[in-house]
Amino acid sequence: MFAFFLSSGLFLGWSLGANDAANVFGTAVGTRMISFRKAALYCGIFVILGAVVSGAGAAKTLGELGAVNAVAGAFVVALAAGVTVYWLTKLGYPVSTTQAIVGAIIGWDLFAGALIDFVALEKVVLSWFVSPVLAALFSALLYKVVAYWMKHVKINMFSLDAFTRAGLLVAGIAGAYALGANNIANVVGIFVPISPFSNISFLGLFTLNGAQQLFFIGAIAIAVGTFTYGKKVMLTVGEGIAEMSPVAALVAVLANALVLFLFASQDLEGFLLSHGLPAFPLVPVSSSQAIVGSVIGIGLVKGGRGIRWRILGEITAAWVVTPLAAVVLSFIALFFLQNVFQQKTFIPVEYRVTAAAEKRIQAAGISVTGLVDVRGKTFPSAYQFKKALDQHMTLTNREKDLVMAAAEIVHLVITNQVANRINDPTITNEQKEAVNQLRGKSFTHGWELEQALAEQSQEWRMVPNHKEQNEELKRKLDYVYRLTRSTGQ
């Protein structure tokens, strides 16, 4: 059943490849510097590499928008986004797959009564405005630098042509890698929390975790979409928005790749934060918006005379329609799948302020006086629990998050089956033994299991100021939670 439901994610991946491959090779194909077949081949290879090696960062932020917790729900969300992208791709517009998947997730949040993480949503929506502006600035600056270099360096026409072709190919490869790293979250990111895949090791040389296996499958779908349906949108980007010379095409692709890299690189984020500098949020930005921004930036440097404003207006209108259409389509499809076809599109998450939860809230320095009226009551959704909190307490967003996390009910049971199914090679023998020691025990809250494991072994304890180590530990905890939910309930 998971393979069937994953098919909608693969359809979305195919749609992304059909649409977004234009963003890294469209200008090269449109200026006839690289053939479509060659562009599609290189794009497919490096999209896969980018997705598997560097796709985790943006996927995490997308998951914060809505933790789709049922595979049928994930199927509908990906299908709604895929249909939206396919419809606009068929019309020839370079639409935003990011906007489509974000809209579809919000549709699920509304249907399931789940809370929308407005902080994460703000990051993503802000990127829709920032990425094309950044791309326009980068392309304008790069174009001026290249124009200055060409003016002061004597180079014959044949050498310039060879340099430009090679540059377009290298820039396209970099763009394809960045596209896979940044946009694979759009394709299969919602399936990561419910993935059944375990870590696999290849001859002890490297290990692919469950998320990376999903990224690999999704990236193949992107590559297929590029080969089978990507040419029309490539020509729209390469020829339709503005008149482009081969050199301008090279600059546009470079600017696009830079923007995608800035919003996808965990290493860059870690470097900037370690030096006390502000970092770009790891969010799946729209490569469509970035490449359009790049083309416009070059057009403005050249005086704006070659920009086809009518086509640009149509593309902008398509960007406005994309998330709205995905929200509506997702909500309606979820309603029919759950009520007509009797499929569980979301698993209700209950909230209850138990005695243990109240102690945890108090230990966090939050007054529990206002919890008197909600203590012991069971709330069937995050939305209803948050509404009750707002009525009885005045909390900051951080405090509200702590209270909700403490009161979330998960009902975990560590069975013999759970302990025996751990096959993640990154989980140490000491960590496995800690899980074994908890066999037969049950937990009402997820954080109770986390505490119990930390008491059994120091290797399950978070380390202050060690972000990467703690992120890896959280991944291992999520793995144990998934095993527990699938076998222990």
Per residue in 312-362, pLDDT (tens digit) is 888 888 889 999 999 999 999 999 999 998 888 988 889 999 999 999 999
Q: Which of 133-147, 153-167, 240-254 is modeled with the greatest confidence?
A: 133-147
Q: Does one domain contain both 90 and 140?
A: yes
Q: Is residue 155 part of a domain?
A: yes
Token readout for 453 is 């494991």
Q: If you ran DSSP here, which 8-state letter would residue 190 be given?
A: G
- Both 65 and 142 in one domain: the answer is yes
pLDDT one-digit tens code per residue, 244-280: 678 887 888 889 888 988 887 777 877 887 788 777 8
**pLDDT on residue 276:** 82
Closest CA to 237 of 318, 328, 162: 318
Distance CA 429, CA 456 (A): 13
Q: Is residue 26 part of a domain?
A: yes
Residue where a domain terminates, one of 376, 407, 438: 407
Query: Could you tell me if 357 and 316 lie in one domain?
Result: no
- The reply to whether 277 and 250 lie within a common domain is yes
* Mean pLDDT computed over 370-375: 88
Q: Which of 246-255, 259-268, 406-415, 450-459 has the highest mean pLDDT?
A: 450-459
Confidence of residue 58 (pLDDT cuts 50, 70, 90): low
Give how far the C-alpha of residue 112 lies from the chain's centroid of Cα atoms, to the nearest Å.
20
Parallel, antiparallel, or unpaired for β 442-443 and 200-202? unpaired
3-state helix, strand, coil in the chain (%, to 5): 70, 5, 25
Q: What pLDDT sits at residue 125?
A: 87
Residues 101 and 23 in one domain: yes
Asked if 251 and 112 sit in the same domain, the reply is yes
pLDDT at 451 over 90: yes
**pLDDT (mean) for 366-374:** 88
How many domains, the chain? Answer: 3
Q: What is the mean pLDDT of the chain?
A: 84
Can you give the pLDDT at residue 488? 42
- Asked if 359 and 445 sit in the same domain, the reply is no
Query: What are residue 206's DSSP bridge partners?
Result: 202
The answer to whether residue 346 sits within a structural domain is: no
Residues 296, 359 share a domain: no
What was the pLDDT predicted at 239?
55
CA-based nearest residue to 478, from 27, 69, 184: 69
Structure-derived torsion over alpha carbons of residues 73, 78, 83, 84, reported in degrees to the nearest 10: 100
Are 142 and 256 contained in the same domain?
A: yes
pTM score of the predicted model: 0.77
Q: What is the mean pLDDT of residues 92-115?
A: 86
Q: Which of 7, 6, 5, 9 is CA-nearest to residue 184?
A: 9
Confidence of residue 489 (pLDDT cuts 50, 70, 90): very low
Distance CA 22, CA 28 (A): 9
429 in any annotated domain: yes
Average pLDDT over residues 271-295: 81
Portion of the chain with pLDDT greater than 70, in percent: 91
State percent of the chain over pLDDT 90.
27
List the single range of 52-61, 218-227, 442-451 with lowest mean pLDDT.
Answer: 52-61
Residue 241: is its pLDDT beyond 60? no
Q: What is the pLDDT of residue 287?
A: 78
Question: Helix, strand or coil for residue 480?
Answer: helix
471 occurs within a structural domain = yes
Final residue of a structural domain among 383, 407, 431: 407
Task: Provide the token pair at 183.
Answer: 């946009």
Based on the fold, state whether residues 179 and 73 are members of the same structural domain: yes
* C-alpha torsion sign, points 177, 300, 288, 110: positive
Helix (H, G, I), strand (E, B) or coil at 375: strand
Which residue among 390, 407, 424 closes a domain? Answer: 407
Contact 368, 330 (CB under 8 A): no
Domain assignment present for residue 387? The answer is yes
Please indicate, yes or no, whether residues 287 and 385 belong to a single structural domain of this protein.
no
Give me the pLDDT at residue 270, please: 77
**377 CB-contact burial (10 Å; exposed 0-12 / middle 13-18 / buried 19+):** exposed
CA 128, 132, 138 angle in degrees (round to 5)? 145
User: Does the pLDDT of residue 420 top 90, yes or no?
Assistant: no
Note whether residue 344 is domain-resident.
no
pLDDT score at 168: 85
Q: Are residues 359 and 474 in the same domain?
A: no
What pLDDT score does 278 carry?
79
Q: Which domain covers residue 398, as residue numbers? A: 351-407
CB 93 within 8 A of CB 319: no
Q: Report which DSSP code applies to 284.
A: -
Q: Residue 439 pLDDT more than 80?
A: yes
Residue 31 reports pLDDT greater than 80: no
In a domain, 296, yes or no: yes
